[in-house]
Chains A and B, each alone.
Chain A
């Protein structure tokens, strides 16, 4: 049982390049989330999908787009990467109700 899988684990981009971060979960969870974490800070919510077919903005959505491809997969896209988007990105999923979120191991993204 892999849980939440994120790819790639590391990536270096140049300013202006585009990139899609992939996230897949095998727990049949309904909700999925994308967070970013900057040094010394807690996680901040970028976008979330409460259920298949729906997406909503979180705290820091500017510069990102998401796609809930199916129940398993939730991707995060940077259309034109900026140095301010250098961060560690975490994907999470949750079944429903009060069930906790389960997190992936993160994607470490550097933008030069």
Chain B
């Protein structure tokens, strides 16, 4: 079973920041939080990952709470092309890197 809980859907206005929450209350010390998205049933696309520090790249920012039980993915200026299902995944730092996908959050960016 997925170790994360996400809202099934969210709306966001184009040009505004999209904040996608994720709960992972059972996360252990060596587990990372990864975010992927899937557009129109294409293959999932990697966005960002982190352990305990906040992370930022050209696509998004990841904010992880101090107790690491939840995180938020931030798309700073959402566009219509950001409409997708966003998956928050917890995985361990081991060699196999098995990802366990939940059902994700469908983000609908509105014009």
Contacts and interface: CB of A to CB of B under 8 A. Distances in A.
Interface of A: 4, 31, 33, 35, 37, 40-45, 48, 50, 56, 58-59, 88, 90, 92, 94, 96, 98, 100-106
B41 A94 contact: no
5 contacts: A4-B43, A42-B104, A56-B96, A58-B98, A100-B46
A46 to B, nearest CB: 11
Contacts of B101: 35, 42-44
Task: Specify the main secondary structure of chain A where it touches its partner.
Answer: strand
Contact of A98 (B44, B93, B100, B104): B93
A33 B100 CA distance: 12
Contacts of A103: 43-45
Given A50-B95, A50-B96, A58-B98, A101 B46 contact: yes
A42 B102 CA distance: 5
A105 B87 contact: no
Contacts of B49: 98, 100
A40 B99 contact: no
B97 A31 contact: yes
Contacts of A101: 44, 46, 97, 99
A98 B49 CA distance: 9
Interface in B28-75: 32, 34, 36, 41-46, 49
Nearest to B104: A42
Nearest to A41: B103
Contacts of A50: 95-96
A100 B34 contact: yes
B2 interface: yes
